[in-house]
Amino acid sequence: MRIEPLSIAGAALIHLEPHADDRGFFARSFCETEFAAAGLETRFPQANLSLSKLRGTLRGMHYQLPPHAETKLVRCTRGALFDAIVDLRPQSPSFGQWTGAELTADNRVAIYVPAGCAHGFQTLADDTEASYMVSAAYAPGSERGLRFDDPWCGIDWPMTPTDMSDKDRTWPLFNADYHAVERFRDPG
């Protein structure tokens, strides 16, 4: 696999390096040794799968507060999606910035989302599935979100959302939840 750093500190695209023959190909999608050598999280005790029926569905922007902050490794296993990350870590050199990438079943690229970043995606095709490994279990009391259209970060989504949950539509603007984000500040 090839690990390509992104503009968000600690975020990366994970590209497969397939070994192909007449039968198809084989590729590692995760390697603890390579992740550790790159300084990435290697412990993923939970895996999630989501299916979005309609093109334009937006899920996010989600994060969890410490001590339940999650690192995510997200891959599109069917269809296509645009994945976005916003850096909410005040001490980070990329604080307040966002980046995005197109993940598809065909390109097989995964995105590595560091803890302390909000994460979400918009589907680019009907019946899109996303599979993601997370470094911490879901903790409802630590769950937070950032509005998908928050002008503070200004994510450039590919299209106007056609479907989203009420919860995702009504997350607070960044300034309204800054006290929670302060918990990502490095104590040292």
Looking up residue 57, the CATH number of its domain turns out to be 2.60.120.10
The 10s digit of each residue's pLDDT in 84-105 is 999 999 999 999 999 999 999 9
Residues 119, 132, 138, 179: which is the catalytic one?
A: 132
Query: How many Cα atoms occupy the beta-carbon half-sphere of 187 within 13 Å?
Result: 3
Interior/surface letters 117-149, b for 16+ CB within 10 angstroms, e for the rest: bbbbbbbbbeebbbbbbbbbeeeeebebbbbbb
The answer as to whether 33 is a domain residue is no
What DSSP designation does 145 have?
E
Whole-number Å distance between alpha carbons of 119 and 73:
11
> 74 has which bridge partners?
111, 132
**In the chain, how many domains are there?**
1
Res 175: pLDDT: 75
Spell out the residues 6+ positions from residue 188 whose beta carbon is closer than 8 angstroms to its own: none
The answer as to whether 106 is a domain residue is yes
Q: Given pLDDT bands bounded at 50, 70 and 90, which one contains residue 173?
A: confident
Res 72: pLDDT: 98
The answer as to whether 3 is a domain residue is no
The 10s digit of each residue's pLDDT in 22-74 is 999 999 999 999 999 999 999 999 999 999 999 999 999 999 999 999 999 99
- Is 132 one of the annotated active-site residues of the chain? yes
The answer as to whether 176 is a domain residue is yes
The answer as to whether 26 is a domain residue is no
The answer as to whether 39 is a domain residue is no
- Is 119 one of the annotated active-site residues of the chain? no
In this prediction, residues 155-169 reach a mean pLDDT of 96
Range of the domain at 131: 44-184
Res 188: pLDDT: 42
The answer as to whether 14 is a domain residue is no
Residues in the chain: 188
Whole-number Å distance between alpha carbons of 61 and 118:
5
Res 178: pLDDT: 57
The answer as to whether 154 is a domain residue is yes
Residues 15, 62, 119, 179: which is the catalytic one?
A: 62
Residue 130 and residue 75 in contact, taking contact as beta carbons nearer than 8 Å? yes
The pLDDT of residue 187 is above 90: no
Q: Given pLDDT bands bounded at 50, 70 and 90, which one contains residue 5?
A: very high
Flag whether the pTM goes above 0.75: yes
